[in-house]
Structure 1
């Protein structure tokens, strides 16, 4: 129930959807006695699009998340395993009839995982994430697509561990711990996008799985200028606001439901 409720609720409160909805309602209201209110809706949506588009609002939302956990050094101790959270592979276009795996988001989760697997040849490579679409789609689920891609990129099949039942980050943590049965003294590196790392670490802690964060796919550069320079094209800014707003809402929701150990988990 939590999975479906979160999907539906997020669709309703996505900033771009809300702004488009205001425009549509405002235009429709022009033909009614609420025309004045309709004009205000359209004006509010226009202002919102400017703030969420060219204004670097997405950068302001992303920076606290991405700066929360430091990057690991190249000489870190060899891990027992490398856990890759799903979210990179487009399950709609990665269909059996195409025969190719399509990566549309967070490619660093995949590329850095393979790079680490080559650097630490004794470590297991774990992918966690199954079919997270609300409606059933054709083709491979994300876990099977990831296995296919890892093998094509040169990772030995016997090193790959697949967890294919999870549909969100909470299930990633719970099902991975159940599958891997981590033991004291083992070192498990977890790879996910830097902006997603605080919530992921908090969830894994509550699930009783101690992991070492390995943030990738940064959206910010860390410079002072990006806090004031406009986001161009504006569609990039709006997309970033959508994704960062979702992450902050997720942090609040998961904290309220006891699925993270803090509102903004820290190292």
Structure 2
């Protein structure tokens, strides 16, 4: 902006100086991981906690699948939310008695408008490739919002939205 103002005021030296400074700032921001350095102090108070000793079930929310890439490449593809899947797989391997419940479906409106891709469940494919028995895995693949799918189930680890909301305020 300063470069444009300097040019309109017929100040070429000021325009070159501000343009060079802007270019330098863009290069520094794009080359060095400044975003990571700025986020560290914000994330530091939230250290990972140890999980419970007994786990009855693990609920994995979808959104990590990339159905269009999976269809194109013919093998499971995930996006930047894949930590949901890897963390659930690690927990499932640590707790072999726990059931896995995956609530999938695409949250992208374009997939709903363009038509659903008829693909096998990506999460099930990945879980079974990691050695988790398919008998332990339950899934649904038509949700855009997961809570209504699980409302009404009783017992185990699956709670209704109201139960989850009530407990969320009580947990430390």
Q: Same fold (TM over 0.5)?
A: yes
Offset at residue 209 of structure 1 (A): 1.5
Per the alignment, residue 148 of structure 1 pairs with 125
Per the alignment, residue 208 of structure 1 pairs with 163
Per the alignment, residue 53 of structure 2 pairs with 77
Question: 1:94·1:139 contact (CA, 8 Å) conserved in 2?
Answer: no
3-state SS in 1 of match to 2:84: helix
User: Given the alignment, which residue of 38, 56, 66 partners 1:60?
Assistant: 38
1:92 aligns with 2:65: no
1:103 aligns with 2:81: no
Q: 1:124–1:56: structure 2 CA closer, same or farther, 3 Å change rule?
A: same
Q: Distance in 2 between matches of 1:87 and 1:211?
A: 25
* RMSD of aligned residue pairs (Cα, Å): 4.3
Per the alignment, residue 250 of structure 1 pairs with none
Question: 2:148·2:161 contact (CA, 8 Å) conserved in 1?
Answer: no
Larger radius of gyration: 2
Per the alignment, residue 12 of structure 2 pairs with none
Q: 1:68–1:178: structure 2 CA closer, same or farther, 3 Å change rule?
A: farther
Question: 2:151·2:160 contact (CA, 8 Å) conserved in 1?
Answer: no
Deviations 1:198-237 (A, max 9, x none): xxxxxx997532699xxxxxxxxxxxxxxxxxxxxxxxxx
Q: 1:93–1:157: structure 2 CA closer, same or farther, 3 Å change rule?
A: same
Question: 2:62·2:106 contact (CA, 8 Å) conserved in 1?
Answer: no
Offset at residue 120 of structure 1 (A): 1.1
Higher RCO (CA < 8 A, seq sep 6+): 1
Question: 2:105·2:142 contact (CA, 8 Å) conserved in 1?
Answer: yes
Tell me how many residue pairs correspond in the alignment.
Answer: 155
Q: Which ranges in structure 2 are unaligned for 5 or more consecutive residues? A: 9-14
